Amino acid sequence: MPKTTPTKKPVFDMIAIGEAVLDVFLEVDEATVACELKRTECQICFAFGEKIPVRRLTRIPGAGNASNAAVGAKRLGLNSVIYSVIGNDEAGREIRAKWKEEGVSAKYAITDKKRPTSYSSILFREGERTILVYHEPCKYVLPKLSSAAWIYYTSLGVGHEKLEKQLLTHLKAHPETELCFNPGTHQLRRGLASLLPVIKRSTVFAVNKEEAERLLGVTEKTIQHLMHTFIQQGAKIVVITDGHNGSYATDGAESWFQPIFDGEAFERTGAGDSFATAFSTAIATGLTIPEALRWGTANAWSVVQFIGPQKGLLTKAGMKKVLKKFAGTKGKKLNHQAS
């Protein structure tokens, strides 16, 4: 029999591509803030022109969608590396220190010597939050990437389209590399037609219900319909989260639903990132879609217990413990219908 050439092990398990920012969390004082909290909406209202006391301030360097994904994947056992553009400033140095602490490779991180690091301010109260984001204008250029089992492509600022084309070219040359696409604000604003080449190449396409409806221009369709529409566009697995209502996933042949795990949310920033990261990591390590939904649910449940998107990210041991704790909160297979 002819000898077979062994498959070369990828250099990285996951390359995260997207933003890394400095997050500053401001917990506002209940006595001076009028906040209307409903099941589906929350308004944080301030008296214009007044000074508003802040109960607590928390700085978190190395937040941002891609950084959250790289850190989350590393904690769950993957060898992760990040591509992001940060400034040559104190925040940028803090971010690099955070990656080093977490064991995330910064091989592809770029320091822009002319511009500062991007920045977010998060106002939160009673588990809900409003995020004020400033993306520092920068030039995105994809470096030559080493081999990777997965690429996790997520939020970037204005002017990222050239990098996206470079990424698609790289993926065409490396068909063995799987892609998780978890789009951010500026990507979503480009609309469905512009994102179709990336969606078509995605092994996992992850959005929340509102994002899916916005992309497809519909508001009265079932989540199964939304998922199967993206499957028809070429995605292999589609994941849609729906907040308190749980999460859904399909591979086109079968569909599943997973309820959330019970618990009080202290601060919700990073719930979506933690879910998509754990889901894609589970798929990357060979687990089934129902198991991956439970991983995503567990990670999001843990993250919202703390301020910020990373403190609650689970390790492999932590994941096992949370899944055991909520062994009775099982998902279910859905009837196969797209309407």
Asked whether residue 275 is domain-assigned, the answer is yes
pLDDT band at 38 (very low <50, low <70, confident <90, very high): very low
Q: Residue 127: its pLDDT value, please?
A: 63
Query: What CATH number did the domain enclosing 214 receive?
Result: 3.40.1190.20
pLDDT, tens digit (0-9, with 9 covering 90-100), for 108-157: 999 999 898 988 888 877 666 788 887 778 889 999 999 999 999 999 99
- Residue 7 inside a domain? The answer is no
Concatenating the DSSP letter of every residue in 200-240 gives HH-SEEEEEHHHHHHHHT-SSS-HHHHHHHHHHTT-SEEEE
198 located within any domain: yes
Q: Is residue 94 a part of any domain in this protein?
A: yes
- State the pLDDT at residue 31: 40
Checking if the pLDDT of 39 tops 70, the result is no
pTM of the model: 0.91
Neighbours of 119 (CB within 10 A): 17
Other Cβ atoms within 10 Å of 259 Cβ, number? 16
In a domain, 124, yes or no: no
At residue 65, does pLDDT exceed 70?
Answer: yes
* Contact of 300 with 274, CB cutoff 8 Å: yes
Q: Does residue 150 sit within a domain?
A: yes
Specify if 82 maps to a domain.
yes
Q: What is the pLDDT of residues 245-265, one digit of tens each?
A: 999 999 999 999 999 999 988
Q: If we measure between CA atoms, which residue out of 328, 314, 330 comes closest to residue 258?
A: 330
- Domain holding 311, by residue range, is 12-20+65-116+139-334
The overall average pLDDT reported for the chain is 90
Domain-embedded: residue 101: yes
Question: Which pLDDT band holds residue 314 (cuts at 50, 70, 90)?
Answer: very high
Only one residue has tokens 């904690």, namely 75
* Total count of domains within the chain: 1
What confidence tier does 40 reach under pLDDT thresholds 50, 70, 90? low
Q: Who contacts 169 (Cβ-Cβ below 8 Å, separation ≥6)? A: none
Residue 49 has pLDDT above 60, yes or no: yes
Residue 339 has pLDDT above 60, yes or no: no
